[in-house]
Amino acid sequence: MKILTVIGARPQFIKAAPVSREIRKHFKEIIVHTGQHYDENMSNIFFEELNIPKPDYNLNVGSGKHGEQTGNMLIKIEEVILKEKPDAVLVYGDTNSTLAGALAASKLLIPVIHVEAGLRSFNKAMPEEQNRVLTDHISDLLFCPTETAVKNLKSEGIEKGVYNVGDVMFDSILYNIEIAKKKSNILERLGLKEKEYILVTIHRAENTNYKEKLINIFNALKDSNEKIVLPLHPRTRKFINDYGIEVGQNIEIIEPVGYLDMIMLELSAKKILTDSGGVQKESYFLDVPCITMREETEWIETVEDGWNVLVGSDYEAILNAIRFFMPKGEKHDYFGNGHSSERIVEIINRTLQK
C-alpha cells in the first residue's frame, strides 16, 4: 500500500512527524511538501529536529492570494498523484495545503484521509473553517481528535469512515518533551527564568489583517508591564511593519523557533497568550494557563475545563486576563492517550488495505 502525504505549513510538519514514523512501519509513504511555508525556521528546522523524512517532492508554491496559492498547489499535486498512483492521499488540519491535497485526490477518485477532521469554529469567514469543512466533505477516512469533532461531523451528516483516535499533537508532545528538556537551551540563551515571563504567538488573519485589532493587542501587551517573549510569525512581522506599530520595551521579539525550543518556552511560561490552534492545546497538555485572542475556538474542551479563556482582540479583556486569569477546573483526557498515530495506521490498514 502506498500513501501520499501532502503537507506544507508549520503545524502540519509537527502533526506528520509521529504519523509518518508509524506509517513507515507498515506502508510505503511519499511526502509532498507544497512549499506553503518555506523559511528555514518555518519548514526545514522541523524536518531536521523531528526526523521527518525529506520530502520526495517540493512543489515550491510559496505565498500568494488564497485562490492563487490553492490553485497552484492543486495543479502540481494532481501531476504528482497521476505519476505516483497512490492508494490514498493523507492530509492534515485546515490549511490551503490540506484543501488542495484533498481536492486533487478526490477528483482522481483516490481515497482521502483527513487527520484532525471535524473541527469547527462555526465562523465561515475564517479561511481555515472553509478548508476544513470542504476537506471533511470529500474525505473517506476522517480521524477526529475529540468526541466534539465526531459530533460536529454527525450534525453535517458525515458518519461513515469517522473515528475518534485522539490528537496526534498529544503524541508529538509526549514523544518530544524529554528530548526538548535535554536538547533545548533557549531559556539560557534568552536569559529567561521559569514562570517569570509570558509567551505570546500571533498569526491569525482575523487579528493581523485589521490594524486596530493588532494595535489593541500590542498596547495591551505593553501596558501589562510583564516580560513578554514573542516568537514572531512572518505574516505578523509584515503587518507590524506595514501598520507602523510601536512595540513595547517589555516585549522581546524573536524569530520563529523550532519545536523543541517552543516546547521549553511553553513549559516554562507563566501564561500563554495566543491565537494559534496548536498552541492552545499544548498549553492544556503542559498545564500552562492559556489566554486565546480569538472570538471562538475549535478546542472548546480547554475552555470548558477552565484552562483557556477567550479574549478576542479587546484591550481590556487581554489586560485583565494577563493579570487575573487563573485556571480553576479539573482536566480530562479529551485528547486521547498519546497513541493516536498507531490507531490511525491500524485503521488505515484494516479499512483500506487491498
- What residues are labeled active site? 203
**Residue 313 and residue 301: Cα distance in Å, rounded?**
21
Q: How many residues does the chain have?
A: 354
Task: Please tell me what DSSP assigns to residue 120.
Answer: -
| Rounded distance between C-alpha atoms, residue 248 and residue 250, angstroms | 5
Q: Which of 42, 177, 253, 254 binds ligand UD1 (CB under 6 A)?
A: 42
Total number of residues binding ligand UDP (CB under 6 A)?
16
* φ, ψ (nearest 5 deg) of residue 106: -60, -40
* Residue range at the interface with ligand UDP (CB under 6 A); choices 53-61, 62-70, 77-85, 276-284: 276-284
Contacting residue, 8, 11, 101, 289, with ligand UDP by CB under 6 A: 11
Taking the C-alpha atoms of residue 120 and residue 288, their distance in angstroms, rounded to an integer, is 24
Report how far apart, in Å, the C-alpha atoms of 222 and of each of 227, 243, 252, 277 are. 9, 17, 11, 24
Asked if 206 interacts with ligand UD1 (CB under 6 A), we say no
Query: Comparing C-alpha atoms, which of 307, 304, 301 is closest to residue 288?
Result: 307
Residues 6+ apart with CB under 8 A from 333: none
Q: Is 201 in the site for ligand UDP (CB under 6 A)?
A: yes
Using rule CB under 6 A, residue 10 touches ligand UDP? yes
Q: Which is nearer to ligand UDP, 81 or 202 (CB)?
A: 202
Is 158 a binding residue for ligand UD1 by CB under 6 A? The answer is: no
Does 38 help bind ligand UD1 (rule: CB under 6 A)?
yes
**CB closer to ligand UD1, 62 vs 329:** 62
| Contact call for residue 200 and ligand UDP (CB under 6 A) | no
Largest pairwise CA distance in the chain: 61
- Of 161, 278, 289, 327, the one binding ligand UDP (CB under 6 A) is 278
Report d(CA 167, CA 337) in Å as an integer: 8
Q: What count of other Cβ atoms lies within 10 Å of the Cβ of residue 255?
A: 12
- Interaction of residue 336 with ligand UD1, rule CB under 6 A: no
Residue indicated by cell numbers 512595540 = 247
243 lies in the binding site for ligand UD1 (CB under 6 A): no
Q: Which of ligand UDP, ligand UD1, none has residue 279 at its interface (CB below 5 to 8 Å by kind)? A: ligand UDP
Burial class, 130, CB count within 10 angstroms (exposed 0-12 / middle 13-18 / buried 19+): middle
| Residue 129 within binding range of ligand UD1, rule CB under 6 A | no
Interface of this chain with ligand UDP, residues 227 to 256, rule: CB under 6 A: 231, 256
262 binds ligand UDP (CB under 6 A): yes
52 binds ligand UDP (CB under 6 A): no
Among 53, 71, 234, 336, the residue binding ligand UD1 under the rule CB under 6 A is: 234
CA separation for the pair 328, 307 (Å, rounded): 7
Residue ranges binding ligand UD1 (CB under 6 A):
9-11, 36-39, 42, 63, 94-96, 127-128, 203, 234-235, 238
Residue ranges binding ligand UDP (CB under 6 A):
10-11, 14, 201, 203, 231, 256-259, 262, 276-279, 282
